[in-house]
Amino acid sequence: MDSPFLDPIEQKEIQKQAHALRQIGKLDPGHLIAELSFGFWCSLLDRRYEHQQLFWPTLLRAVFPGLKSRKIHLIRKRFNRIRRLRNRIYHYEPIWHWKDLPQQHQDIVEAIKWIEPELLALVDVEKFPEVYFNRPNRLSTNHGQA
């Protein structure tokens, strides 16, 4: 939990979650990994870690075995875009009017495949087209992207 490779911001987040888990007697690697936010994991793709020997490119193949291109800046861009969409949804902001929502859905599916193609079996990703194209007010909400 005290890694010389992590910046203080990430260290603090790990310590915070570890403390909370320790309080309820569930501090173990599995619970700790699960408690760390999506934003935390995206932060590990940051430029700060790009040239550290422990992180990228050393772990790229292990973390993203389904990815052909090994360009960390493309991975970073994809996951930051996913994080922004996730945050909009999490804060109950409307997204139906985003013109590129179907493309963002495809980008998420592709990113899942980068990590582990078999994960798609756990996620019902094929409902999106039906829900999206049958949404209420479809014609009146087809303007500009947020």
Residues 86-128: tens digit of each pLDDT: 999 999 998 888 889 999 999 999 999 999 988 877 777 778 8
Average pLDDT of the segment spanning 6-26? 94
* Cβ–Cβ < 8 Å for 44, 55: yes
Residues 59-88: tens digit of each pLDDT: 888 999 998 877 888 999 999 999 999 999
Work out the pLDDT band at 143, boundaries 50, 70, 90.
very low
pLDDT of residue 140: 52
The angle that helices 101-115 and 72-90 make with each other, rounded to 10 degrees, is: 120
Q: Over the chain, what is the mean pLDDT?
A: 86
Predicted TM-score (pTM) of this structure: 0.80
Average pLDDT of the segment spanning 10-24? 95
Round to whole Å and give the CA distance between 1 and 28.
11
* Cβ–Cβ < 8 Å for 44, 56: no
- For 97, the domain range is 60-146
Q: Is residue 105 part of a domain?
A: yes
Q: Is residue 138 part of a domain?
A: yes
Domains contained in the chain, number: 1
Q: Is residue 143 part of a domain?
A: yes
Average pLDDT of the segment spanning 35-64? 88
pLDDT of residue 121: 79
Round to whole Å and give the CA distance between 93 and 4.
38
Whether the predicted pLDDT of 136 surpasses 50: yes
pLDDT of residue 144: 47
Average pLDDT of the segment spanning 39-67? 87
Q: Which residue carries 């014609």 as its tokens?
A: 139
pLDDT of residue 132: 85
Q: Is residue 82 part of a domain?
A: yes
Q: Is residue 85 part of a domain?
A: yes
* Cβ–Cβ < 8 Å for 1, 14: yes
Three-state DSSP class for residue 22: helix
